[in-house]
A = this chain, B = another copy of it.
Amino acid sequence: MNGDLARLHALDSERMHLSRAAAALRWDQETYLPPLGVEDRAEQLAVVEGLAHEKLINPEIGELLDRLGFEPDTAANGAAGSGPGAAAANAGAAIDGAANAGAAALAGPDLPALERDFVRVLGRDYRRAVQLPPDFVRECARTEGLSQAAWADARKNSDFAAFAPHLERLIVLARQKAEYWGWGGPAASGGGPNSAYDGLLDFHEPGLGAERIAALFGPLRKRLSALLAKIAAAPPPEDAFLHRRYDVRRQGAFCREVLAGLGFDRRRARLDRSAHPFTTTLGFNDVRITTRYQETDPLPGLFSVIHEGGHAFYELSLDPALRSSCLAEGVSMGIHESQSRLWENVIGRSRAFWRGWFPRFKTYFASPLKGVDVEQFYRAVNRVFPSPVRVEADEVSYSLHVILRFELEQRLFDGTLTVRELPEAWNAAMKDSLGIEPKDDAEGVLQDVHWSMGAFGYFPSYVLGNLYGLQFWEKLREAVPDTGAALEKRDYDAVHTWLREKIQCFGRRLSPGELLLGVTGKELSADPFVRYLEEKYTDLYGI
């Protein structure tokens, strides 16, 4: 390895270790931190994350990148450089050949493929970081901190007006951030290609702009609404037995047994409890997931465990060659969600899965499940019911919650909707799309934390995850034809192997579009997802 490259790796791994240390502090904050410890913890995080940022914007990194032939992609060519089509010919091939085509233009062609990918991805991270002035970074952090607290209060009191000025400021800052990154600005402030909102979408899901997402989500919304209407006309399955008493300690024990059965390796990962389930990576062999249990419903705890387990499987399947580098992470929110939602929904809510697990589940909960058979249980697990709250939504209506947020975000950023008008627009969209009227803003526009953290353009990832996931799943079913039988036997090896080799091992080496095209030979599409839902729910509801 040449000296410049070795030095660049050393600088990168140092800041990665700092980021992982910060992740450990954040994990502790959500799981075990004594309540009054939060104040000092905030200071510690500010110091550690500040140093991690400082290490990333180190000018020496910029010089090394230059010498190694890194050429920044601009917002204008970014979609082409990182989007589908760029390197797809080689995606999915053996890792040493990965991303040849796309990488050659961006980092010295005399480097091995892995190193070219490293230089390209670190270069992009470096550019994104140095494009933001330090004062602006500090102002964002301060505003987001205050806004999150204000949002929590506003939600408690269902008082949108108290949160509105914060949201307005957050939108100004988000737009400014996108402009620093080269998106939007006066010439493109009215939306359209290369608007600020495109830049925010690109941050979470490189290579997809608002127009492309809208072209997918519009028809998807119609098809889901049609399916929902049919389901609403059919008699709902019995599910009273899900609301009996399910001892929380036993839920935990069952979740651990399921995780072990799914191949969750306790030498490299662990499960804890927190107020909101999440997954975080603390090291190459250290991934933490969390869940929370409800005594009167065993499903939320379990499906959170499987969902977060799906995120963990991705992080635990990275090529060891990526260890401690900026490549050692899932490539995007959307691809990450494709893995978690595939495990949670496509596998975890399938008939085959429950044929495998229901007998075990009954040994933990014989009393509340007395007289219930696996088919009844499977139907109850997949009951479709309208809810005003996204995180409580069933598999069919879930995406409609997300599409609603995407459409409102678009309008907030193209100037056709003001923050003051947002609650009314929210309620109208909710009524139109799901037939639901939230009882107040707390269960309406204020329900999610994302906007208060300045995370605009994040929501679409959830639906993109569904789309990627089913495109992957169709290919997996072709490659592993007896998947259903394996799931019934609780044998997940072939599924893990295929996901690891085709998708997970690459980390950030391949862009989402490259991955998708390499694996499926196709562009992003909602068809497999809708096909999957239509088949499953036609069967379930006899419609």
Contact = CB atoms under 8 A, between A and B. Distances in A.
- Majority SS of interface residues in chain A? helix
Nearest to A38: B285
Contacts of A18: 44, 47-48, 51
A412 B17 CA distance: 39
Interface string A393-423: 0000000000000000000000000000000
A40 B21 CA distance: 10
Interface in A320-339: 324
Interface string A30-59: 001111110111011011100100000000
Given A21-B25, A24-B25, A286 B43 contact: no
How many copies of this protein are present in the complex?
2
Contacts of A36: 267-268, 285-286
A96 interface: no
Contacts of A373: none
A269 B34 contact: yes
Nearest to A43: B17
Interface string A257-301: 000000000111110100000000011111000000000000000
A283 B40 contact: yes
Report the interface size class on chain A: 35 or more
A223 B272 CA distance: 51
Contact of A37 (B46, B47, B285): B285
A283 B37 contact: yes
A320 to B, nearest CB: 12
25 contacts: A14-B47, A17-B44, A17-B48, A18-B44, A18-B51, A20-B40, A21-B21, A21-B25, A21-B47, A21-B48, A24-B44, A33-B286, A34-B267, A34-B268, A34-B286, A36-B268, A36-B285, A37-B268, A37-B283, A39-B284, A40-B282, A40-B284, A41-B282, A41-B283, A48-B48
